[in-house]
Amino acid sequence: MRATRVKETHHPDPAPERLRGFFLEKNETPVTKEQQNNQKPRRQRSAQIKEGPTRAPHRSLLRAAGVAPEHMDRPFVALVNSFAEIVPGHVHLDGFGRHIKAALRAAGYVPFEFNTIAVDDGIAMGHSGMRYSLPSREIIADSVETMIAAHCFDAMVCVPNCDKIVPGMLMAAARLDIPTIFVSGGPMATGRLADGTATDLSSVFEAVAKHQNGDIDDAQLGEFEARSCPTCGSCSGLFTANSMNCLMEVLGIALPYNGTAPALSAEREVLATDAVAKLERLLAEDITARQVLNKQAFLDAIALDVAMGGSTNTVMHLLAIAREAEVELSLDEVDTVARRVPYLTKLSPSGKHHMDDLARAGGIPALLGQLHQGGLIDGERVTVTGETLSTNLKDAEAADPEVIRPLDRPYAVGGGLAVLFGNLAPDGAVLKTGAVAPSMRHHRGPARVFDGHDEAVAAIHAGQIVAGDVVVIRYEGPAGGPGMQEMLEPTSAIAGRGLAGSVALITDGRFSGATRGACVGHISPEAASGGPIAALQEGDMIVIDIERRRIDVELSEESIAARIATRRQPQRHVASRWLRRYAAMVTSASTGAVLADPVRS
């Protein structure tokens, strides 16, 4: 039987018209041939998916996605967005992404947007969801690599904002080593109570403890809740998100003022437009991520970190990013820098100032200008501006000497972070010295030992912790948790009960950037790996000495070894297959808590 012939209908190129808004605005000014030639790198990476007769199937699919034939020779730029509606630091990034795509189209590029996941640490705090926060960093890095490598993009513009999203994208950028520029979503405004007092997320956590202690009533707690996070954006203190967004400026992977330009501001939109303009030189000269993220960039990032008293999490993230960039970086080097760089800013949770105060005082360029004048950072290295760091800083001035102190009048001669070693942390531990009361810079006290976060929180709220104690929270490391959850709830409970100046907390877990007090985290090796912290018992005397960079228990090495040999590790049921895989593969916090590489390991 003869088959019925279907009448053919010619559709010359329907997809570009249907999807035209994604790639080329109808009122866009056409890009000249000369401009297109200037934008082309020596050989586009995207040529692998669009050039030659054998790539006809690929071009067919690209047409279906909305790419017109006449645009195939333009650079393909990935817009790596982290928009997520449940994260206040990211809820506005869909609109911000549209602004960046419009700028990319106007510059003659073909933009393709895709999203990563994003965990809000504040919302995940204090329950099992926090175990997913640090592991999400690895998912983000792997997913960005997957999308970029699979589709052969020529360059990428990364739009992160909050805690693990920034380092996750930076790890991917270092791993992929293509022209890359970062534009963060920006910080939220500082909250204000009815009487004008500044407030932020850490204030709410501490208010919970005050409420449970009977120091404030329901209405007062409600006021903290309603007023502390007034806008979208990354939380207004110098917590992990803002610390990382600021560090990208000195790393050279983002433009000046990336860390302080407010979310939803005209300044933030201009920053994004300027970032797109820088892509032309990055592509033309093939300036890739690793050329920017070199060894000196990481050392300078540590200098800025300790000068501004950033989150302790930044140390772990910088170690992880350096590993992806194939740069050797150790905790010893971190502490060497920390000892020579003064503490010049004191932002919440360590002080009364917030990100909008830092922006008003001149932002990160003003702070870097102080460090550069003192010879504490190297200004002669390339950045994504195409210029050196010192060139980027030439017009920077500190407008408020209380927000950004001069070198001859620092808050402290040593920086705001420190790395401690000792028989409790042979591989190191991290402390935010800027958030420690002077009375706690040397502390000796009895161990109050808890095999997990929840037990410790319950004891603190029940009034079982008293002045002089050292709260020990173990089996919360990268593998032991698993996931190395943050300890903002117990540290906030200690502060809320008025004990921040008399009680220390040590853990193989980690801390939120909003934590304040004598809090030593990332103790390595962790308890689950047989680290000395696993040997501690109730009443053991622990000594924390910040000046000597020591954390020790008053036990002999023989006693510690004997206890570890006979320890009974708590059996923690982990229902998640992903977290079980993570626990099996994750390495020590002292090396960045990255997943083991079977080749490098």
For the segment 488-512, what is each residue's pLDDT rounded down to a tens digit?
Answer: 889 988 988 999 999 999 999 998 8
| 279 belongs to a structural domain | yes
- The set of catalytic residues is 512
Q: Is residue 287 domain-resident?
A: yes
Among 145, 153, 186, smallest CA distance to 169 is for 145
Question: So what's the pLDDT on residue 598?
Answer: 87
In this structure, the answer to whether residues 382 and 499 fall within a common structural domain is no
For the chain, the domain total comes to 3
Residue 243 lies in a domain: yes
* Same domain, residue pair 276 and 343: yes
Q: Among 341, 251, 340, which residue's Cα sits nearest to residue 292?
A: 251
Question: What is this structure's pTM?
Answer: 0.92
The CATH code of the domain that includes 378 is 3.40.50.2300
**Residue 73: helix, strand or coil by DSSP?**
coil
Closest to 136 measured CA to CA, from 600, 576, 599: 576
Instruction: Provide the pLDDT for residue 4.
Output: 37
pLDDT tens digits, one per residue of 253-267: 999 999 999 999 999
Supply the pLDDT for residue 512: 83
Supply the pLDDT for residue 189: 96
- Note whether residue 258 is domain-resident: yes
- Which regions in the chain score pLDDT beneath 50? 1-30, 33, 41
The domain of 207 spans: 192-227
When computed from its CA atoms, the radius of gyration of the chain, rounded to whole angstroms, is 25
Backbone angles phi, psi at 450, to 5 degrees: -135, 130
Q: How many CA atoms lie within 13 A of 257 on its CB side?
A: 21
Q: How many Å apart are CA 349 and CA 435, to the nearest integer?
A: 7
C-alpha–C-alpha distance, residues 302 and 300, integer Å? 5
Calculate the CA dihedral of residues 327, 333, 339, 341 and round it to 10 degrees. Answer: -10
Residues 106 and 181 in one domain: yes
Which pLDDT score, from 0 to 100, does residue 547 have? 93
Q: What is the pLDDT of residue 33?
A: 47
pLDDT at 23: 41
Same domain, 435 and 542: yes
Check residue 2 and give its pLDDT: 38
